[in-house]
């Protein structure tokens, strides 16, 4: 597994990939940090290069969708939730309940929230686009200021909205 650090408007991100795809994007103070096994090494990898380039374009306002091979590790349910995140369009939000409904599991709102919180590829799999049923910003692995920043960047949230 190769990894590198990327300076971004939301802090220095840890990004990891291997030949299977992008495995991790981690915020500076993650709620659920991923352990870095001894076989991880800091270095270059074509997927890392491409991920850093696309993240730079996203933060610069020039990219709305990512085109990267993804290889997040998780349970079958987590994988299902993470795939559904990818379907939330840029600049839009969904509630946890709407996401649970979309998955055909309308009573699984809390489980969807837990899976969302374990998303190893935030931004690319846009868990920041999931908000509370009342429209409020709720938990986010990168912190609520980061969530607010990402939603404002995408135009889904105006400065001053939702306690901004």
Contact predicate 93/131, CB 8 Å: yes
Angular region, 85: left φ>0, alpha ψ -120 to 50, beta rest: alpha
Strand partners, 157: none
| Residue 115 structure tokens | 């899976």
Would you put residue 125 in left (φ > 0), alpha (ψ -120 to 50) or beta?
beta
The residue from 47, 121, 125, 127 that is catalytic is 127
Residue 127 is among the residues annotated as catalytic for this protein:
yes
Give the distance, in angstroms, between the CA of residue 7 and the centroid of all CA atoms in the same chain. Answer: 16
Structure tokens at 82: 């993470």
Alpha carbons 87 and 81: distance in angstroms, whole number: 10
Distance CA(15)–CA(88), nearest Å, equals 22
Active site residue ranges: 127
């Amino acid at each position: 597994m190769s990894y590198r650090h990327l300076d971004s408007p939301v802090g220095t991100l840890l990004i990891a990939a291997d030949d299977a795809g992008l495995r991790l994007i981690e915020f500076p103070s993650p709620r659920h940090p991923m352990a870095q096994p001894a076989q991880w090494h800091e270095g270059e990898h074509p997927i890392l290069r491409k991920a850093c380039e696309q993240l730079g374009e996203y933060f610069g306002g020039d990219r709305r969708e990512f085109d990267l091979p993804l290889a997040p590790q998780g349970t079958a349910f987590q994988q299902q939730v993470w795939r559904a995140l990818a379907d939330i369009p840029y600049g839009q939000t969904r509630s946890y309940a709407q996401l649970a409904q979309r998955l055909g599991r309308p009573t699984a709102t809390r489980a969807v929230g837990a899976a969302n919180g374990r998303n190893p590829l935030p931004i690319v799999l846009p868990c920041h686009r999931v908000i509370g049923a009342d429209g409020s910003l709720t938990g986010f692995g990168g912190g609520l200021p980061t969530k607010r920043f990402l939603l404002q960047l995408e135009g889904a949230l105006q400065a001053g909205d939702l306690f901004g």
